[in-house]
DNA sequence: TACGGAAGTGAAATCGGTTCTCAGCTTCAG
DNA sequence: CTGAAGCTGAGAACCGATTTCACTTCCGTA
């Protein structure tokens, strides 16, 4: 809930509200978030929405998803890790229940001497509708 | 080898040669490929390189990698599927030996009624050098 | 050898998303 | 009240990716 994040500037709070209202799996773009945010705060600027998304992403409140081939990044409320699927026909993005096993991630990190903070798993192909 | 791809226009063949000469795990951008291609064909244009990469990607001869947070897409010769890691400190991209198990992919595809053609697994974090 | 269509090509323009700039405003500690 | 720090909106700048357009090359067919 947005109430779990404190000390947020009012506009950023608005951005967070919009993203959370869209809900998990909604995959909204910064543009769409801007449009919806203006319904609450007509004078909010796109730059502010974008800066808010960056901040909220740093805080871990929203997820930023860069799907290969997708025109722009999409956002959704932070939730349990899952994979994404993008249809090459209609461009729709849907959630898939998959995450790289924690043990596997740990092993990869150890072997390469790296610290893994985030993972992103995206599939592309054809959805049921686009055959 | 490039000899496995037939009937390629000369410029596209040049692009393929450049990518393959860079080798697996090289992660070169379209710009870098263009610079190297000009060493072989001084008059080649960027648009041609870009079109060549699209064609070669369609043919399955090169992989296109869109790493989240990375400025631009990178390319490398087609090889066995593997994951990528991007350091948030230095921006370097390295290969990791991991792929989603084929059985898992099949199960996901079945459950959602989709046809999965490609997968992309990318991790982000800190490399050994950036601590 | 001519011909004609299809495909390839280079330069530049364009596009779209993202990020930056800047001047003004708000907030808040002291 | 005052000053500093942070927030804000509008628009411009940026940058990689893609498209456009006019020209050239290639190749099959008479």
pLDDT tens track for B6-58: 788 999 999 999 999 999 989 999 999 999 999 999 999 999 999 999 999 99
What's the whole-model pTM score?
A: 0.89
How confident is the model over B72-98, as pLDDT tens digits? 899 999 988 999 999 988 889 999 999
DSSP A14: H
Spatial contact of A99 and A82, defined as CB atoms under 8 Å apart: yes
Q: What angle is formed at CA B23 by the lines to CA B21 and CA B28, rounded to 5 degrees?
A: 90
Burial class (CB in 10 A: 0-12, 13-18, 19+), A86: buried
| Both structure tokens of A98 | 């998959």
Taking CB atoms and an 8 Å cutoff, what residues of chain A touch B124? 116-120
Q: 3-state DSSP call for residue B52?
A: helix
Q: CB distance from A116 to chain B under 8 Å?
A: yes
How are strands ordered across the β-sheet holding B74-77? B28-29, B74-77, B62-65
Taking CB atoms and an 8 Å cutoff, what residues of chain A touch B119? 121-124
Over range A32-43, report the average pLDDT.
95
Select from B116, B82, B79 the least CA-distant residue to A86.
B116
Sign of the Cα torsion A38, A43, A49, A52 reads negative
CA distance A55 to chain B (A): 15
Over range B107-113, report the average pLDDT.
96
Taking CB atoms and an 8 Å cutoff, what residues of chain B touch A91? none
Q: Is the CB of A56 under 7 A from strand D?
A: no
Q: How many Å separate Cα A57 from the centre of its chain?
A: 8
Confidence of residue A1 (pLDDT cuts 50, 70, 90): low
Spatial contact of B56 and B12, defined as CB atoms under 8 Å apart: yes
CA distance A102 to chain B (A): 13
Over range A119-129, report the average pLDDT.
93
Select from A72, A98, A110, A69 the least CA-distant residue to A86.
A69
Q: 3-state DSSP call for residue B70?
A: coil
Burial class (CB in 10 A: 0-12, 13-18, 19+), A56: buried
How are strands ordered across the β-sheet holding A62-65? A28-29, A74-77, A62-65
CA atoms of B61 and B12, how far apart (whole Å): 11
Residues 39-78 of chain A with CB under 7 A from strand C are 46-47, 50, 54, 71-73
DSSP element (H, E) containing B102: helix B102-112
Sorted by where each starts, the structural domains of chain B and their CATH numbers stand as 1-79 (1.10.10.10), 80-131 (3.30.1490.190)
Select from B3, B5, B13, B1 the least CA-distant residue to B52.
B13
Over range A81-110, report the average pLDDT.
94
Place of tokens 């040049």: B14
| Both structure tokens of B99 | 């792929």
């Amino acid at each position: 809930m947005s109430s779990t994040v404190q000390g947020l500037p009012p506009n950023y709070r608005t951005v967070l509200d919009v993203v959370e209202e869209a809900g998990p799996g909604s995959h909204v773009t910064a543009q769409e978030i801007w449009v919806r945010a203006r319904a609450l705060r007509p004078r909010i600027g796109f730059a502010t929405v974008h800066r808010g998304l960056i901040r909220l992403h740093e805080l871990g409140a929203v997820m930023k998803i860069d799907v290969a081939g997708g025109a722009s990044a999409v956002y959704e409320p932070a939730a349990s890790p899952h994979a994404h699927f993008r249809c090459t026909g209609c461009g729709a993005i849907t959630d898939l229940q998959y995450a790289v096993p924690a043990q596997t991630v740990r092993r990869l990190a150890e072997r390469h001497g790296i610290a893994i903070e985030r993972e992103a798993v995206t599939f592309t192909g054809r959805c049921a509708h686009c055959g």
